[in-house]
């Protein structure tokens, strides 16, 4: 893969907590317009790596680039400005705000440079009202995109679990990310909700976005992702297409144990 076809490149990422090496020299390269999966057994380092990429944890080492330009994962705010938006495994909405207002919060991250100033906000100047109307209109479009247009005026707390996940995705999309990073988006979903999520993520990819996804549902990942990286004990043990990764002996052993791996190779 040439540099011209890489959206996110992470090289040699490492992170320790005290004496525990959570990540050791982890590298990935993600192409534009693909869904990239990050999987591994419990404790493999997936969430740590995800948090390092998105600015929640500061790495001990590593180089981080978006479209060939270095970015510094020192803060979530800085990472969002660079062009990465994320969701969390534990849903983090504003429950006492409306569905529409939750998306508008995300949109404000991309319109800070366009604000009309404190006085404009206080006195509701024409430029401020125009900006707010633009944010509201764009946010409504995003709700329609994820299938929540009819819930715009409802409180976020009233949504079903699956719809709350969709709302998180809409809010992340409101920041106009180059990379959408999703932390276990299918967690807690039933089969119908998972099918809907699969179709939404494919649509987002087909519309030109790039997605990085952590997910425990290996079947979902293998059927959805273009490429996959597998971590175990903080190290990369396999990377490639789902077809190749699922047949890798190290992956089989990591998920099923050594006896099962030997049986699979027999």
Q: Where do we find the tokens 């929640």?
A: 56
Asked if 146 and 204 count as a contact pair (C-beta separation under 8 A), the reply is no
pLDDT, position 259: 45
| Topology alike, domains 1-83+185-266 and 94-176 | yes
CA quadruple 90, 95, 101, 105: dihedral positive or negative?
Answer: negative
Q: Is 239 left (phi over 0), alpha (psi -120 to 50) or beta?
A: beta
Residue ranges in the chain whose pLDDT is less than 70? 1-4, 108-128, 256-266
Domain spanning 94-176, CATH class? alpha beta
pLDDT of residue 154: 96
Residue 157: closest CA among 89, 88, 92:
92
CATH architecture designation of domain 1-83+185-266 = 3-Layer(aba) Sandwich (3.40)
- Determine contact, residues 131/114, Cβ cutoff 8 Å: yes
Residue 242 three-state SS: helix
Is the CB of residue 63 less than 8 Å from the CB of residue 12? yes
Strand order of the β-sheet with 61-66 is: 20-30, 8-17, 61-66, 69-70
pLDDT score for 1: 56
User: How many beta carbons lie within 10 A of that of residue 242, not counting itself?
Assistant: 18
The count of other CB atoms within 10 Å of the CB of residue 216 is: 15
What does pTM read for this prediction?
0.86
**∠ CA(253), CA(254), CA(256), 5° rounding?**
60
Domain ranges of the chain: 1-83+185-266, 94-176
In 3D, which of 199, 195, 140, 216 has the Cα closest to residue 173?
A: 140
In the chain, the N- to C-terminal Cα span, in Å, equals 34
Cα-based distances in Å from 102 to 137, 235, 242, 245: 13, 36, 35, 38
- Segment 222-235, tens digit of pLDDT: 999 999 999 999 99
């Amino acid at each position: 893969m040439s540099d011209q076809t890489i959206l996110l490149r992470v090289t040699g990422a490492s992170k320790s907590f005290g004496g525990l090496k959570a990540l050791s020299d982890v590298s990935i390269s993600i192409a534009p317009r693909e869904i990239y999966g990050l999987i591994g057994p419990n404790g493999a380092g997936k969430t740590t790596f995800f948090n390092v990429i998105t600015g929640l944890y500061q790495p001990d080492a590593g180089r981080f680039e978006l479209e060939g330009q270095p970015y510094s994962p020192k803060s979530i705010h800085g990472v969002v400005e660079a062009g990465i938006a994320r969701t969390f495994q534990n849903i983090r909405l504003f429950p006492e705000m409306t569905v529409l207002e939750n998306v508008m919060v995300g949109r404000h991250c991309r319109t800070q440079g366009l604000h009309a100033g404190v006085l404009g906000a206080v006195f509701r100047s024409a430029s401020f009202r125009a900006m707010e109307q633009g944010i509201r209109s764009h946010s409504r479009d995003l709700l329609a995109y994820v299938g929540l247009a009819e819930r715009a005026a409802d409180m976020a707390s009233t949504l079903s679990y699956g719809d709350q996940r969709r709302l998180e995705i809409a809010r992340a999309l409101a920041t106009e990310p180059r990379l959408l990073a999703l932390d276990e988006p299918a967690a807690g979903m039933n089969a119908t909700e998972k099918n809907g999520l699969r179709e939404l993520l494919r649509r987002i990819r087909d519309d030109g976005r790039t997605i990085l996804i952590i997910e425990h549902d290996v079947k979902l990942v293998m059927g959805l992702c273009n490429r996959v990286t597998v971590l175990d004990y903080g190290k990369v043990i396999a990377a490639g297409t789902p077809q190749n990764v699922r047949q890798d002996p190290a992956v089989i052993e990591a998920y099923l144990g050594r006896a099962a791996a030997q049986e699979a190779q027999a």
